[in-house]
Structure 1
Amino acid sequence: MTLLAFSKIAWAIGVVAWYVLRIPFERKARRMKVSDARHRNLRDMTLLTISTLGLGVTPTLYALTGLPRFASYPITVIQVVAGILVFLFALWLFWRTHKAIGKYWSVTLEIKEKHELVTTGIYAQVRHPMYSAFFLWGLAQALLLPNWIAGPAGLIGFGILFFFRVGREEQMMREAFGAAYDAYVRRTKRVIPGIY
């Protein structure tokens, strides 16, 4: 097996593991009634589609076909090892985030009935650790897929979703939790502890 084939397989295993980790939490979240789904709209769905193109469609096309070939470059062992380690950390963070937020998790922006503000566990470090995990997935993809388009597509696609969504999400949380959320914002950063 070539190093390139190994790196593509490692990326694919990481993506499959990501969705397998999410299954039990998604089932729990579906049982909760939604009290505020006003942000479930065309804009949010468009952002989710852009993110999926970057983290799913474009890299899968590259992994299966090598396209676009003109943007490929040679991969190194250090790059593959770093990519695997970053993806493992992303998966761990993704699992911890789901475990902490539990039944309040949602793909779209919504508040569940009897929703509580989660500020413990990994949420004591950053306000959006799931977004942190997605950025790490994007970084792992950039390392594992040696293609100037498919590699960074995850960081770009998810970055677009994040920057157009996070402010609206925080506004929704502020409206739902008021002063408690404002205090939480003052003591935490968005996705990188102590930095941003």
Structure 2
Amino acid sequence: CQVIFWLLTIAEAAAAFSASDLCPRGIKQLITPLLAAPTIGAISPGLLAGICLVITGSLLRLYCYRVLGQYFTFELSIRNGHKLVTSGPYSVVRHPSYVGCVCIAVGELLCCLDRNSWLVTSSGLFPRDEATLTRVLWCLWILAPTSSKLMFVRMNNEDVMLEKAFGDEWRAWVERVPYRLVPGVY
């Protein structure tokens, strides 16, 4: 799934770059024949919103990695000498990195499903007369249940693991930071 995600991202970036004035002529001549529509690269509100969400989500995740420091891993684990991290974004919500993931995923959908995107204009998968938001919501409706389930299962597993490892310290943190993803909501 991540491979497809990044291939689409690279295709969108190449299409937008080749349509811009910044693209050197030689590269433009290589890429342009692969593009089916002249509107690729046109900036739209959906594309801008998507870019902002991807950047915001990426920066939030990088900040989380930095705050976690040596305790960051992609695998759920407690390391020797592990300390409970409760500062930075972890003082606002307990799972801020997942907020970043959601921002990135929604932003990518907005970018890739924009009516002027390479995927929409060149692939023939989507009619161009539909609204970008409709396409994004349709994809979210299909993808969100599975992605959400996986994310919530992992969050629960993290909480169980942290409570087991840190006990009262973790419970005190949960009292101070009761929300997992969105302050005041969840």
* TM-score, L = length of structure 1: 0.60
The whole-number CA distance in structure 2 between the counterparts of 1:177 and 1:166 is 16
C-alpha distance 103-174 of structure 1, shift in aligned 2 (>3 A)? same
The one of 74, 98, 119 aligned to 2:65: 98
Q: Which of the two has greater helix per residue?
A: 1
Which fold has the larger relative contact order, with Cα–Cα distance below 8 Å and residues 6 or more apart in sequence? 1
List structure 1 runs of 4+ shifted beyond 4 angstroms. 60-65, 147-151, 153-157
Following TM superposition, by how much is the alpha carbon of 1:125 offset from its aligned partner in structure 2, in angstroms? 0.6
How many percent of aligned residue pairs carry the same amino acid?
28
The one of 158, 164, 170 aligned to 1:169: 158
Task: State the secondary structure of the residue aligned to 2:93.
Answer: coil
RMSD: 2.7
Q: Which moved more, 1:160-169 or 1:123-132?
A: 160-169
Following TM superposition, by how much is the alpha carbon of 1:158 offset from its aligned partner in structure 2, in angstroms? 3.7
Which of structures 1 and 2 has the bigger CA Rg? 2
**Structure 1: 5+ residue runs without aligned partners?**
1-52, 66-74
Task: State the secondary structure of the residue aligned to 1:119.
Answer: coil
| Mapping 1:53-68, distance limit 5 Å | 53=1, 56-60=2-6, 62=8, 64=11
The whole-number CA distance in structure 2 between the counterparts of 1:136 and 1:155 is 13
Aligned length: 133
C-alpha distance 76-158 of structure 1, shift in aligned 2 (>3 A)? farther
Q: Which residue does the alignment assign to 1:7?
A: none
- Corresponding position: 1:87 with 2:54: yes
**Structure 2: 5+ residue runs without aligned partners?**
13-41, 114-125, 127-134
The whole-number CA distance in structure 1 between the counterparts of 2:163 and 2:74 is 19
